[in-house]
Amino acid sequence: MDGNGYPRVLDREGCVFGKHLAGEYEEMRKRMDVIERKLDRLTTAMVGASITFTTAALMLALNLWLGH
């Protein structure tokens, strides 16, 4: 420890700066988890929409083809 009472090592548990960085890292990790969940939901919604539009296009083509 130096004269200020802080350890000289700069790891996450060793000093105030390291603890601050660890807190920021945890906050960023939480944000990334939220973004990951949102992207998973968006991907699921996009797959569902593409299946719906493909089915609608096929049904329209079938109706037009059978209508003639």
**Per-domain residue ranges of the chain:** 1-68
Q: How far apart are CA 30 and CA 34, in angstroms?
A: 6
pLDDT, tens digit (0-9, with 9 covering 90-100), for 3-57: 566 555 555 566 777 778 888 999 999 999 999 999 999 999 999 999 999 999 9
Q: Model-level pTM? A: 0.59
Sole residue written with tokens 């083809």: 65
Task: Give the pLDDT of residue 17.
Answer: 73
pLDDT at residue 10, as a whole number: 52
pLDDT at 62: 93
Distance CA 3, CA 30 (A): 36
